[in-house]
Structure 1
Amino acid sequence: MNAFFIDTYRNDFRHGSNAFVEDLAVFGVISIITSQKAHVATGDGGVTVGVLISFWFRRKAGLERPAGITQQDQHHYYLLALLLGLVVGSTLFGTLNLHLAGQGGLAKSMLGGIFGAILAAETFKYFAGIRQSTGFYFVPGLIMLIAVGRIGCFLAGLPDFTYGVETSLPWGVDFGDGVQRHPVQLYETLTMFACLAVLLISYPRQPLFWQRHGFYVFVLVYAGQRFAWEFLKPYPPVFAGLNLFHWISLALLVYALLMLNRSQTDVE
């Protein structure tokens, strides 16, 4: 670990922050959603960039901990709940999708992980009596992790099972089987970079909006684009012509819209 991170951790501990625990959570995210050898370099890069973005943005915005989390111990339990939900959701839905496609083994899914983490966070908030959004604290770093992680999925090729269906478009990519396919992984990367750009540009002018509603906006964008890209993937339908990840995306879209409406009502 280089001097920058050592100094950063030392300063954060001196001021009572949970930076080290949060970075473990970030490493946990990467370790759960990456399994192919081609992911190693991009996974490490995603962790580094995600951590740097998180540190920079939190300090610039003055975000010491997630909104509504008032105590150090509460913060730790909250993070543990997120990690548990992430692990269970990622493995459960990733593996289920693999088996629905007629393949064996274990798989991991970022979409499933986010779904599980949200379910765990909302359960924790219910019992802790927290009503406001707590997730914006993680959004900038999470966006970068997804963006860079999808580059790893692209480089992993066919074994990663995240490629697109056949296309005649000029930017189609042959992953080694002689078929030109939609590079859906890069579609997601570009969407996440655009999302981060909008956040960074608009946050200085509308900090309260982002702090109150930013996580739900992120979920809305993430789930919306995932729903769209799923039509370009070779996953089998499970109901009404939609695959498993379509339905998870729809569930997250409903969640985001309901929570945006509730948070706006609370403000009014």
Structure 2
Amino acid sequence: MPSTPHADTSRKPGIAVVTGASGGIGAATARGLAEAGYRVVLTARRKDRVEALAAELTDAGHSAMAYALDVTDRAAVDTFATAFQKVAVLVNNAGGALGADPVATGDPEDWRQMYETNVIGTLNVTQALLPALTASGDGTVVVVSSTAGHATYEGGAGYVAAKHGAHVLAETLRLEIVGTPVRVIEIAPGMVRTEGFALTRFGGDAEKAAKVYAGVAEPLTAEDVADTITWAVTRPPHVNVDLLVVRPRAQASNTKVHREQP
């Protein structure tokens, strides 16, 4: 039987930029990439959170720096990108969901904000850093989408539409830059319980947020997704993980979830 592939140890990891690194999947991914030897650059709107994480990683002996950044602000993104001549990895993680209303009554502003962050934000950072990723000679673009980008569900049209946009962005970019030294990886998580995702989606309503995970003994954690991202990024350069869907065992699809009865 063939041996199990391991992380590529023949090259020295370079700079890894992680957006949305102030908590959840982004922060866990920054920790995973730092442990893999990357010099991590943590970006998010909440400056205090990324600075605290950078300090934590530095104290642990890793190389980390924090940068306050709103990925929807193209001028700010372009300024940020001028600091880097070479970037090894870009993890487009900034995103999020707002509301769970049906199409008939959904708030257009929520839809607009989700599209701006999940799609335009990913576009902004990817475009700005693509020259540095190419210059590295071995660049990786990661798009953290969602299973919502591959199948719809009632009450989720705005978020589903945005994540479909992120999926198509990744898929099209891979086609367009084939033959360059940059690979494009899409990681599509299913049900993940983090400290803020559902709470933000429901405007701070803790009761509604808790119902998302009710009866599910083990949803995915941010660390589960970060481990998946780190694994994909550390494959040998010729190996491209085009799309990896990761769900908890209790979730068979976006609409089929096993829930234990109380």
Same fold (TM over 0.5): no
Interval of TM-score (by shorter of Structure 1 and Structure 2)? 0.3 to 0.5
Q: Please give the TM-score of this superposition, normalised by the length of structure 1.
A: 0.35
Quick check: which one's helix share is greater?
A: 1
TM-score with structure 2 length normalisation?
0.36
**Larger % of strand: which?**
2
